[in-house]
Amino acid sequence: GTLDPMATGVLVILVGRGATRLADALMRGRKRYLAQIDLAHTSICDDTEREPQAVAVASPPTRADIEAVLPRFVGTIMQRPPDHSAILIDGRRAYKIARKGRDPALPERPVIVHSIDLLDYAWPRLTLGIACGKGTYIRSLARDLGAALGTGGMLAALRRTQVGPFTIGQARCLGAVPDPLTQADLGEVPDSPGSASLDQDEQAGPAEAGPAEGGS
């Protein structure tokens, strides 16, 4: 999987042919995030990678207002990916098209959001705990939540805390990963429905990534 440039958290590293064959299964697994959303600003990329634009809000929503809206974004929902995303359009990344001032015209697509919990709120920022499936853009969720509340909406911070069976508590910081890796540095993929077991040469492990340098 990948992380947006501003995001931190779990990034699973697979080593060996058998392990890499499990990549699709892990990508389909449930992911968990802690997301901080700014309701007083928007941006063209729906996060802080571009200059935020202030939005005038006459009456900030209450906690009850937010909790009343969140169920709209749980279940199988239609979501439009951010224009500044790595989705391919006729062989070109959407963000490269958007950076030239053109509309990549990304269509909505179905994604699965298992749960959203409002963990903290002090205008204009709120923190959500989100469990979701493959292809869900938390930036889009921030944008669409703001639209539903009649406010701004952009992602201010994002941390991925789980990918499939791997959690942030198991992760190592990328700078602490030994080079070269040895067998002792790797672990087996925990048992999960639909996954195959790995032999000695087919291993995986979670790393903890900081803000990335590349686009996504």
**In this structure, what is the dihedral angle of CA atoms 138, 139, 142, 147, given to the nearest 10 degrees?**
-130
Specify the long-range contacts of residues 40-44, CB closer than 8 Å, at least 24 apart. Answer: 40/123, 40/124, 40/151, 40/152, 41/124, 41/152, 41/154, 42/143, 42/146, 42/152, 42/153, 42/154, 43/154, 44/83, 44/84, 44/98
- Within 13 Å, how many C-alpha atoms sit on residue 127's CB side? 8
Residues 67/162, Cβ–Cβ less than 8 Å = no
For the question of residue 179 being annotated catalytic, the response is no
Q: Which of 4, 38, 46, 83 is catalytic?
A: 4
Positions marked active-site: 4
